[in-house]
Copies of this chain bind each other. A is one copy, B any other.
């Protein structure tokens, strides 16, 4: 099962071995790794190295450690995986426009893809989500419904990469644009505009019209991005 380690950085070898076992399907989501003490024997390295490797894998969400139970293969993309990345992006002088732009690229295409392969059940789900948004009472509910809608569309694109990428982008936005989501929604005058845009997106997708869906999403994000820029300028300008 586990092949003994050779030279170079020991913990890197351990990381690679576990990663490879996931890539080849030998380890699957939820599987329990051998205990750290077992791995020490099987790999012929110290427990410290084993643990350093596990910490690294834990940081990217590939492994989840539970004291008293064990280490498990975890696939929870939404967990702590994304937060640290925002720090990285910041370090490299990333521009907030880049994030918004990438989001536009992804979501526009996600809408088109969703329109192309949506099922009847998903149509109903989309309609329900839109309804949630319409009937949302306070800002918090509205923001939550808004987010749920966008994620649903990404999921319906049928492309898992797009979904997790949108996840990453969202967390990036959160760290770059203070209170990004609330920003828009607080603009009461825009509320109807946004609602109409959402409706148009959903309708286009339900009608299985990729071009119209992409166009609607493009228009929607244009509104959002422009509003964001305005509000940001207000904040930084005063």
Residue A92, interface by CB 8 Å? yes
Please judge, given known A-B contacts A22-B91, A87-B23, whether A102 and B11 are in contact too, CB under 8 Å: no
**Closest B residue by C-beta to A52:** B55
Residue A48, interface by CB 8 Å? yes
Contact of B51 with A77 in the complex, beta carbons under 8 Å: no
Contact of A55 with B11 in the complex, beta carbons under 8 Å: yes
Q: Separation in Å of the A87 CB from the closest CB of chain B?
A: 5
Residues of B within 8 A of A93 (CB): 160
Q: Separation in Å of the A233 CB from the closest CB of chain B?
A: 20
Residue-wise, chain A 52-76 has the 8 Å CB interface mask toward B (1 for contact) of: 1101111111100000000001111
Assembly of this chain: how many copies? Answer: 2
Residues of B within 8 A of A40 (CB): none
Contact of B165 with A102 in the complex, beta carbons under 8 Å: yes
Residues of B within 8 A of A62 (CB): 84, 87-88, 91
Please judge, given known A-B contacts A88-B80, A89-B77, A91-B75, whether A159 and B98 are in contact too, CB under 8 Å: yes
Please judge, given known A-B contacts A101-B113, A105-B106, whether A160 and B92 are in contact too, CB under 8 Å: yes
Residue A148, interface by CB 8 Å? no
Q: Separation in Å of the A185 CB from the closest CB of chain B?
A: 25
Residue A228, interface by CB 8 Å? no
Contact of A90 with B161 in the complex, beta carbons under 8 Å: no
Contact of B85 with A162 in the complex, beta carbons under 8 Å: no
Residue A94, interface by CB 8 Å? yes
Residues of B within 8 A of A209 (CB): none
Beyond A73-B91, A94-B161, A165-B165, 18 additional pairs, beta carbon < 8 A: A11-B55, A19-B87, A56-B56, A59-B60, A60-B87, A61-B84, A62-B87, A74-B91, A75-B91, A80-B88, A85-B161, A89-B164, A95-B160, A99-B161, A101-B159, A101-B162, A102-B159, A105-B106
Closest 10 CB pairs of A and B: A56-B59, A60-B84, A52-B55, A105-B109, A77-B92, A98-B159, A55-B56, A75-B91, A98-B161, A102-B161
